[in-house]
A and B are shown apart, each in its own frame.
Chain A
């Protein structure tokens, strides 16, 4: 048997195991790669002027409240949020890597200094008081322990056990940009649910952090998201 025949013979055996592809002709349509994303991996913590930020916050207060506590649950509470996270989000809205009908327009008018000042101002405000969480709830289990069998990592690994931000540790290895990770404590269930859906469907995938959350959110079904949102809202 010639070498070609032997190879064809073996190939035929293996091909029998292939899943049947669609009988329709390949449409050749390209699978879109994610749009260019902002690399936050070397983002350093930001500094700014709290007073200048407060002065610039009048418009923001219309939705996010005068003390950074939102007037409605579809808007995020900003009080006590990580400053670098807030700065990065404003920057993403302005550069188009994150899109929102209101925020995209608002951020377009801000200078880099404005964004830093606003970020440190809201970070300086007292966060919502802690609530009572049910660690044994489904949301609590996912938040604290994840679900390894389904590939769901625990949220607390990056967002901290109480949602007040990550617990950092000294290491010689390259470090994640801890300051860019948001504090989840104080966010409403409605806002968290929307954010998780945006991550899952790719609407929020414009930064390296969003790409991490894109991978995480794809492991979650709707019920998981609801359970998590409810848990986070009680933190």
Chain B
């Protein structure tokens, strides 16, 4: 066994492999058993150590010159040179270290959101790299440390130690920034806390002009979340064939981000301007829609423990894993004060709202995988079984906040008392008691009866059982349902979503009274195989039947059939061409557009239906895209073509075509794309690559506006048929999303001499999204807008959203002495951005629109940033 042998044995395994001492050059390959994080790098060192590596002119092997290719023809990269190590004491340890530090300066639009999105660039000192590595040649033990720091929000450190072929221990710490907005002007005080209060000068009931005056002077803020993680993991050989592994990762996400704040729709009360329809409208003065800022203060602790057998247990290969994940939200509520009265001109009982943010929850999973060879047709049998459970049982929150709906007050004229809804006594139970369990069993047989033929049979059963049951029952009032929108909806509309048997006021209300426990069973059966016709051609085919029985859903069962064909060929010279085609057809049981009635009041005893019935849940012909019929075709071609011995061209072409059997709902989704890349590595000193890609997609969906004149007033409101009185053809509309993305770039790396090396990178990204629509007649537009819009106003679509960015990065490395390098770093980035959602937001005062409060102006439309840095590298 390797663990008892010196490192030389390991080196011997790598017969003919160049290099001897892996100090500071160890492989950074991912550990499949690790918990959580796998990539260590930051914006200065995005590839994690790669820029400090020098390709070794000795190449990949002492056996042959030149680089080998993968089986599909892609060149392997040049191996990295192994730096000299120094002896540590008089023993067998050698070590090497490297430190790079310097100064960064940012000029231009340094606060542009896209420039800062995942990097905390700022003027100041930076630690480019701190690395230490030590190796015991005799025992194979090693220690490796690596770290880099741009700022306290953008840094990583990792320590690994172990013995090759025996065990490994790793510890890491990492901060990653995520900037969400650099142009935020939150109206509220207390941003970052769970309590958003109004600034001096305004109170609930203020006019838009008053709020606008205050908003105009609010300070600019950056909204961001920092992801801080740390962890430790171990993997080691327990016996000759048994390997154990364990890991714990702890991650904190802290910061703040944009959030909502419902106080009922204010759009309803948009009125035509003085010039009539088509002129600038007067904003509504009821309700309120608020873009608030919520705190983010999460922690997730992942624990992984496992055992695997690499052979020998009577021929079984076994992997047994247990995983647990614990999510904790340290700020589980958000309260916000409302600047506008829900109902103007009268003192409103509701002066603010409250959120119940994500509850703490736990996830557990246990999984066993095993495989065993079979004598028949050189086969293999494999099985995997897993059980998982997701649970949360946090204390529930009262529907209304007593501060914003105090006891003694009532919601408008509805008679609903705040006291009946602003304590947890209004709930049917005090804790969430939510739980979803899932079980998985996968059985697989693989056979290779001849050298040319292989086939497999796979059976997979996964059942998910949502065991959460919650009935919305208020013991204080005897009512079912809840008070929506912080109590604002009843005040504005007089409508409640409460049901109470025997109560003339509530016995006919249509209201949701229980949670819907979505569950499903899924059985997949696959039969497939491949046949090698000759040295250059292989054909493959497979058939998969995916039988799902979701409940409660619109269909009691779904059959998804997939037929896949593929052809891999090397018949065209040195090139490898891989062609694949897939045909998918989905059918299922009869479609029931409203299978959820059991969770609504009409299913309750004591429900008394009005003469006008209740509004249709949705149009009967609405097919949800995961439940509708589907015919899909996918075609993909990948060409890998070696050019001489040092270059490769790769081209990919793909197209997906999906047709859903629906007029209402998703109709079609098509994607097309192509990319081509060229890689050239003539020597260890030079490498170059270029790539370009294009992708486009079109999503088309249709819907029908309901005839709002019939709502609550006519029995015809219950007619769900498309083409009927409630969903007339004249109200039909379609929407099309066209998306086009282009990306291109080039990379050049060259060592002019052992003392001078240049890295150049250029990237171009372009994205354009266009949302267009069509409609049968203007009645497809909601009645609340019809009074202010003409056909010319409606038009045929929204302006295009565009994102374009170009980045040029250069790094010049100059070796001053054997131990001292100077590195000059430069990055120039420019781009432009347009999103009609932010149209008209030029100054903070623009963020107040009627009873709507927005928080951010949006990303900078044009930006140019230059980042320069000078670094000194000191190494052993």
Is B89 positioned at the interface, with any CB of A under 8 Å from its CB?
Answer: yes
Known: A22-B93, A173-B68, A174-B65. A13 touches B228 (CB 8 A): no
Contact: A13 with B171, CB < 8 Å?
yes
B611 at interface by CB-CB < 8 Å: no
Asked if B87 is at the interface of the complex by the 8 Å CB criterion, the answer is yes
B139 CB–A CB distance under 8 Å? yes
A51 to B10, CA, bound (A): 47
Q: Are A209 and B62 in contact (CB under 8 A)?
A: yes
Question: Are B173 and A151 closer than 8 Å at their CB atoms?
Answer: no
Beyond A18-B143, A21-B89, is A218–B8 a contact (Cβ under 8 Å)?
yes
Assess the B65–A25 pair: CB atoms within 8 A: no
Task: Kindly list chain A residues whose C-beta atoms are within 8 Å of the C-beta of B856.
Answer: none
Question: Knowing A41-B62, A218-B11 touch, does A14 contact B86 (C-beta < 8 A)?
Answer: no
Contact A11:B171 (CB < 8 A) given known A3-B152, A30-B84: yes
A31 and B87 contact, CB distance less than 8 A? yes
Interface residues of A, count at CB 8 A: 46
Q: Are A24 and B169 in contact (CB under 8 A)?
A: no
Q: Which residue, of A42, A153, A211, has the highest number of chain B Cβ atoms within 10 A?
A: A211
Which residues of A from 27 to 85 have beta carbons under 8 Å from B?
Answer: 27-31, 33-34, 39, 41-42
Q: How far is the CA of A45 from the CA of B88 in the complex (A)?
A: 45
Whether the pair A208, B86 counts as a contact (CB closer than 8 A) is no
Report the separation of the CA atoms of residues A26 and B93 in the bound assembly, to the nearest whole angstrom: 10
Closest A-chain residue to B60, C-beta based? A174
Give Cα distance in the complex from A7 to B232, angstroms. 11
Q: Does A111 contact B (CB under 8 A)?
A: no
Contacts of B175 in A (CB 8 A): 3
Judge whether B85 is part of the interface by a CB distance below 8 angstroms: yes
A26, A42, A149, A152: the one contacting B87 at CB < 8 Å is: A26
Specify the chain A residue showing the minimal Cβ separation from B156: A7
Contact indicator per residue, chain B 168-204, by CB within 8 Å of chain A (1) or not (0): 0111110100000000000000000000000000000
- B89 and A24 contact, CB distance less than 8 A: yes
A161 at the interface (CB under 8 A from B): no
Give the residues in chain A near B754, CB-CB below 8 Å: none
Name the B residues within 8 Å of A176 (CB-CB).
63-64
Q: Which residues of B contact A29 (CB under 8 A)?
A: 86-87
- Residues of B within 8 Å of A21, CB to CB, are 88-89, 91, 93, 134
Given contacts A41-B65, A151-B5, A173-B68, whether A17 and B161 have CB atoms under 8 Å apart is yes
A212 touches B62 (CB 8 A): yes
Do residues B16 and A215 form an inter-chain contact, with CB atoms below 8 A? Answer: yes
Q: Which residues of B contact A216 (CB under 8 A)?
A: 12, 15
- CB-CB under 8 A for A26 and B173, given A151-B12, A218-B11: no
Closest chain B residue to A22, Cβ basis: B89
Nearest B-chain residue to A33, judged by Cβ: B84
On chain A, the residues within 8 Å of B157 by CB distance are 7, 11
Which residues of A lie under 8 Å from residue B66 when comparing CB positions? Answer: 174
Q: Is B271 an interface residue (CB 8 A)?
A: no
List residues of chain A with CB within 8 A of the CB of B68. Answer: 173-174
Query: Secondary structure at chain A's binding surface: helix, strand, loop or mixed?
Result: loop
Contacts of B170 on A, CB cut-off 8 Å?
14
8 A Cβ contacts from B189-243 to A: 228, 230-232
Q: When chains A and B are docked, how far (Å) is the Cα of A27 from the Cα of B436?
A: 61
Least Cβ–Cβ distance between A184 and chain B, in angstroms = 17
Chain B residues near A218 (CB, 8 Å)?
8, 11-12
Q: Does B536 contact A (CB under 8 A)?
A: no
- Residues of A with C-beta under 8 A to B134: 21
Q: A14 to B152, Cβ gap below 8 A?
A: no
Q: Does B94 contact A (CB under 8 A)?
A: yes
Say yes or no: A212 contacts B15, CB within 8 Å: yes
Contact residues of B between 221 and 271, Cβ < 8 Å to A: 228, 230-232
The count of chain B contact residues (Cβ–Cβ below 8 Å) is: 58
Q: Is A219 an interface residue (CB 8 A)?
A: yes
Closest residue on chain A to residue B169 by CB atoms: A17
Q: Is the CB of A39 within 8 A of B89?
A: no
Most chain A CB inside 10 Å of its own CB: which residue of B9, B62, B231: B62
Which residues on the A side are within 8 Å of B141 (C-beta)?
19
A182 to B230, CA, bound (A): 55
B86 pairs with A153, CB closer than 8 A:
no
Q: Report the Cα distance A26→B172, complex, angstroms.
A: 27
Asked if A100 is an interface residue, CB under 8 A from chain B, the answer is no
**Max chain B C-beta neighbours (<10 A), residue from A29, A174, A176:** A174
Interface centre among A3, A6, A218 (most CB of B within 10 A): A3
Residues of B within 8 A of A27 (CB): 87, 89-90
A109 located at the interface, meaning its Cβ lies under 8 Å from any Cβ of chain B in the complex: no
Residues of chain A lying within 8 A (CB to CB) of residue B90 = 22, 24, 27
Please name all residues of chain A whose beta carbon is closer than 8 Å to the beta carbon of B770 when the two chains form the complex.
none
Q: Any chain B CB within 8 A of the CB of A10? A: yes
- Known A22-B91, A26-B88, A212-B63; contact A173-B69, beta-carbon cutoff 8 A: yes
Identify B10's interface contact among A7, A15, A151, A174, CB under 8 A.
A151
Identify which of A13, A34, A42, A151 gathers the most chain B CB atoms within 10 Å of its CB.
Answer: A151
A25-B89, A26-B87, A31-B94 given; A175·B143 CB < 8 A: no
From known contacts A14-B161, A218-B8, infer whether A28 and B87 are also in contact, taking CB-CB under 8 Å. Answer: yes
| Residue of chain B at shortest CB distance from A210 | B62
Answer whether residue A150 sits at the interface, using C-beta atoms and an 8 A cutoff.
yes
Give CA–CA (A7, B69) in the complex, Å: 41
Contact B15 A10 (CB under 8 A): no
A31-B15 contact in complex given A19-B136, A41-B64, A151-B10, C-beta closer than 8 Å: no
Sample 11 A-B pairs with CB under 8 A, ordered by A number: A3-B173, A7-B157, A10-B231, A22-B88, A26-B88, A41-B64, A173-B64, A173-B69, A208-B63, A212-B62, A215-B17
Mark A residues whose CB is within 8 Å of B.
3, 6-7, 10-11, 13-15, 17-19, 21-31, 33-34, 39, 41-42, 149-153, 172-177, 208-209, 211-212, 215-216, 218-219
What 8 additional pairs, Cβ within 8 angstroms, besides A22-B93, A30-B86?
A3-B228, A23-B89, A24-B90, A31-B94, A41-B62, A218-B11, A218-B12, A219-B9
| Ranked 8 nearest A-B pairs via Cβ | A22-B89, A219-B12, A151-B12, A41-B65, A174-B64, A7-B173, A14-B171, A218-B8
